[in-house]
Amino acid sequence: MSSSATELDALLHAGGDRITAYGMLLEAQAALASVVSDELERTSGLPHAWLEVLVRLSRSPERRLRMSELAGQVLFSTSGLTRLIDRMETAGLVGREACPNDRRGAFAVITPAGEDALRHALPRHLESLDRHLLHPIGEDDLAVMTEILERLRDAARRSTATHEVP
């Protein structure tokens, strides 16, 4: 009898704090994203990814961004972004423009309808974040959490960049 049930039990109860912390990260993100996304969909008819795209485009100098740049910002694969822009284009919220310098490239551009949608959705989204994110924990803990999460994110990104074996 090599590894018995008792050994496994020991493993299951050891390091409970890390498991708990990781589980909490997953659960909190899932619960919060679920309620915030639902509310955004309900009040503005926009999936969260769409709002993200509209915000990025609207923030950028010329109100437009290269496809691959935008993909990087919203953490999508380039093919995923192609399809996302397809859907938003048929909805009339964004358009495509050819890039004059580099004829391979394409811009995604926000349309007037896209700006209208953003003007409608953004205040509601901010209010939603107030209710579900700021209010439950207060602004001090919000800042603390943000800073910790930032270190966590950066460390994770560093190790993916490092361990990459193409």
Could you tell me which residues are beta bridge partners of residue 94? Answer: 110
How far apart are alpha carbons 72 and 139 in whole angstroms?
A: 29
Tell me the window of 64-72, 80-88, 93-101, 138-146 that interacts with a copy of itself (CB under 8 A): 138-146
Report if residue 155 touches a copy of itself, rule: CB under 8 A: yes
From the list DNA, a copy of itself, none, pick the one residue 50 interacts with, judged by a Cβ distance below 5 to 8 Å according to partner type. none
CA distance 79 to 5: 46
User: Could you say which of DNA, a copy of itself, none residue 46 binds, taking C-beta under 5 to 8 angstroms by partner kind?
Assistant: none
- Across the chain, how many H-helices and E-strands are there? 7, 3
Give the distance between the most distant pair of CA atoms in the chain: 71
The DSSP 8-state label assigned to residue 133 in this structure reads I
Is residue 153 within the footprint of a copy of itself (CB under 8 A)?
yes
Under rule CB under 7 A, residue 60 binds DNA: no
Measured from the CB of residue 63, what is the shortest distance to a copy of itself in angstroms? 9
Choose which of 59, 83, 87, 96 interacts with a copy of itself (CB under 8 A). Answer: 59
Residues 6+ apart with CB under 8 A from 84: 49, 50, 53, 76
End-to-end alpha carbon distance in the chain: 42
- Residue 123, interface with a copy of itself (CB under 8 A)? yes
Site for a copy of itself in 2-41 (CB under 8 A): 3, 7-8, 11-12, 14-15, 17-22, 24-36, 38
Q: Which of these, 128, 135, 149, 144, lies nearest to 29 by C-alpha position? A: 149
Let me know: does 58 contact 109? Beta carbons within 8 Å. no
* Chain residues that interact with DNA, rule: CB under 7 A: 47, 49, 66-69, 71, 75-87, 96, 99, 102-106
Query: Which residues in this chain contact a copy of itself in the complex, by CB under 8 A?
Result: 3, 7-8, 11-12, 14-15, 17-22, 24-36, 38, 55, 58-59, 75, 115, 118-119, 122-123, 126, 129-137, 139, 141-146, 148-153, 155-157, 159-160, 163
